[in-house]
C-alpha cells in the first residue's frame, strides 16, 4: 500500500509540474485568451480521482486479461512478428505508429457509437481547452483501453519499444502538448504530426469539424480513413459540447455515463452537434465503425468469459487440492 501511495504521489507531482510548465508556455501565444482558472482547477480535482482509480485497476485488468490470455493461448498473440527486423529508434517509431492506429479506432468508436460516447463526452465538455484537459477523462477510460488498445495490439504485434521509458514519456507528454492552449500552426506538417491546432479542431463546436482529427500522434491515420480536417492558419474555434451540456461537479463527472446508460434510451445516441449559430447539424451517416464496435464488444465478452472461467477453474483446483 505504501508503494502504491508513493507511486500515486509521484505521478501526480510529475503531472502537476508538466501542467505548470505548459501553463507558462500557454501565456506566450494562447489560442484563447481569458480562460478561467476554475477550469484548470476542476481538471486537477478530477485528475486526483482519475489517476488513483487508473493506478489501482488498469494494471490489474491488463494482467488479468492480456496476461492470462497470453499464458493460456500463446499462439494467438504476436501474430505479425516484425520486432526482430527493427533496431533501436525504429522500434519506438513503429510502436507509436501501431499504438496510434489502435487508438485512432478506439477514439473514433467513442464518437460514433453512443454507448462509448456517453463515457467520452465528459472529455469533450471542456470549454477552455488547455494542457490540464489531457486527463479530463472518466475513470473508465484506461480500463476500456485495455480491451480496445492493449489487447488487440498484443494479439497483432510482437513490438517491444527499444526504450520503454522513452515510450512512456512520449505517450504521457504528447497528449498534453496537443491539448495545450497554444496558437501554434504546423502548416503542411499538420498532416504528419499532431499538434495543438489540429486537435483543437477535434474539440470544436462547429459542425464542419464534427468527428475529425482523431489521431493523437500521426494524422496520417485520419488522412487514410477520411477523417482529417486541415485547419486554416488562423483557425482556432471555440470548444465544448455543441449541445450546450456542461459538467460542473466531480460527482456529475463520475456518474455521467451511468446516468446515460441506465437513463433514457434516447440519450445513448451521440450528442447532435450544432454549429456556432445554433443550427442543428444533419444526422451523421451510419459508419462501419459501429459494426466493428459490436464485434469488439462480442470479443470482450468472450475474453471475459475465458478469463473468469480460467480463474474459476484454478480456484477449484486449489480448493480440491
**What's residue 270's pLDDT?**
46
167, part of any domain: yes
What confidence tier does 293 reach under pLDDT thresholds 50, 70, 90?
A: low
- For 69-222, list the strands marked E by DSSP: none
35, part of any domain: yes
313, part of any domain: no
96, pLDDT greater than 50: yes
> Cell numbers at residue 164, please?
520503454
**What's residue 282's pLDDT?**
37
Least confident of 1-10, 213-222, 237-246: 1-10
What confidence tier does 78 reach under pLDDT thresholds 50, 70, 90?
A: confident
| Domain region containing 102 | 2-289
Provide, rounded to the nearest whole percent, the portion of the chain with pLDDT above 90: 65
67, part of any domain: yes
What confidence tier does 14 reach under pLDDT thresholds 50, 70, 90?
A: very high
74, part of any domain: yes
**What's residue 166's pLDDT?**
72
189, part of any domain: yes
Q: Which whole number is the average pLDDT over 90-106?
A: 89
Per DSSP, the residues of 134-158 read: GG---TTHHHHHIIIIIHHHHHHB-
**What's residue 93's pLDDT?**
82
CA–CA distance, 289 with 157 (Å, rounded to integer): 22
310, pLDDT greater than 70: no
Q: What is the pTM of this model?
A: 0.83
**What's residue 283's pLDDT?**
40
73, part of any domain: yes
The count of structural domains within the chain is 1
46, pLDDT greater than 60: yes
| Predicted confidence (pLDDT) per residue in 114-127, tens digit | 999 999 999 999 99
What confidence tier does 158 reach under pLDDT thresholds 50, 70, 90?
A: confident
Q: Cα–chain-centroid distance for residue 283?
A: 24
Question: Max CA-CA distance within the chain?
Answer: 70
159, pLDDT greater than 70: no
**What's residue 1's pLDDT?**
79
CA–CA distance, 205 with 264 (Å, rounded to integer): 24
Per the listing, cell 517491444 goes with 160
Q: Which whole number is the average pLDDT over 235-243?
A: 96
CA–CA distance, 176 with 143 (Å, rounded to integer): 20
Secondary structure class of 109 (helix, strand, coil): helix
295, part of any domain: no
| Predicted confidence (pLDDT) per residue in 163-202, tens digit | 667 777 888 899 999 999 999 999 999 999 999 999 999 9
Per DSSP, the residues of 158-178 read: ----S-HHHHHHHHHHHHHHH
Amino acid at each position: 500500500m505504501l508503494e502504491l501511495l508513493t507511486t500515486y504521489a509521484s505521478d501526480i507531482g510529475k503531472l502537476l509540474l508538466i501542467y505548470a510548465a505548459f501553463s507558462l508556455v500557454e501565456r506566450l501565444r494562447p489560442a484563447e485568451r481569458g480562460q478561467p482558472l476554475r477550469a484548470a482547477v476542476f481538471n486537477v480535482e478530477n485528475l486526483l480521482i482519475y489517476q488513483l482509480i487508473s493506478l489501482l485497476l488498469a494494471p490489474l485488468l491488463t494482467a488479468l486479461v492480456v496476461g492470462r490470455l497470453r499464458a493460456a493461448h500463446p499462439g494467438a498473440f504476436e501474430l505479425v512478428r516484425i520486432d526482430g527486423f527493427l533496431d533501436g529508434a525504429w522500434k519506438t517509431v513503429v510502436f507509436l505508429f501501431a499504438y496510434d492506429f489502435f487508438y485512432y479506432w478506439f477514439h473514433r468508436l467513442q464518437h460514433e457509437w453512443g454507448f462509448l460516447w456517453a463515457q467520452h463526452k465528459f472529455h469533450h465538455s471542456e470549454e477552455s481547452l488547455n494542457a490540464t484537459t489531457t486527463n479530463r477523462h472518466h475513470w473508465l477510460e484506461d480500463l476500456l483501453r485495455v480491451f480496445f488498445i492493449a489487447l488487440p495490439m498484443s494479439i497483432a504485434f510482437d513490438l517491444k519499444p527499444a526504450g520503454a521509458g522513452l515510450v512512456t514519456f512520449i505517450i504521457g507528454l504528447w497528449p498534453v502538448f496537443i491539448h495545450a492552449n497554444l496558437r501554434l500552426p504546423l502548416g503542411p506538417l499538420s498532416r504528419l504530426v499532431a499538434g495543438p491546432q489540429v486537435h483543437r479542431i477535434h474539440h470544436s463546436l462547429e459542425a464542419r469539424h464534427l468527428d475529425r482529427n482523431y489521431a493523437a500522434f500521426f494524422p496520417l491515420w485520419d488522412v487514410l480513413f477520411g477523417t482529417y480536417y486541415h485547419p486554416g492558419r488562423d483557425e482556432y474555434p471555440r470548444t465544448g459540447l455543441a449541445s450546450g451540456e456542461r459538467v460542473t461537479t466531480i460527482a456529475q463527472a463520475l456518474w455521467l455515463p451511468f446516468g446515460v446508460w441506465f437513463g433514457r434510451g434516447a440519450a445513448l445516441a451521440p450528442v447532435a452537434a450544432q454549429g456556432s449559430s445554433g443550427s442543428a447539424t444533419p444526422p451523421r451517416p451510419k459508419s462501419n465503425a459501429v459494426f466493428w464496435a459490436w464485434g469488439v464488444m462480442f470479443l470482450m465478452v468472450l475474453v471475459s468469459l475465458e478469463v473468469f472461467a480460467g480463474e474459476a477453474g484454478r480456484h477449484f483446483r486449489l480448493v480440491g487440492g
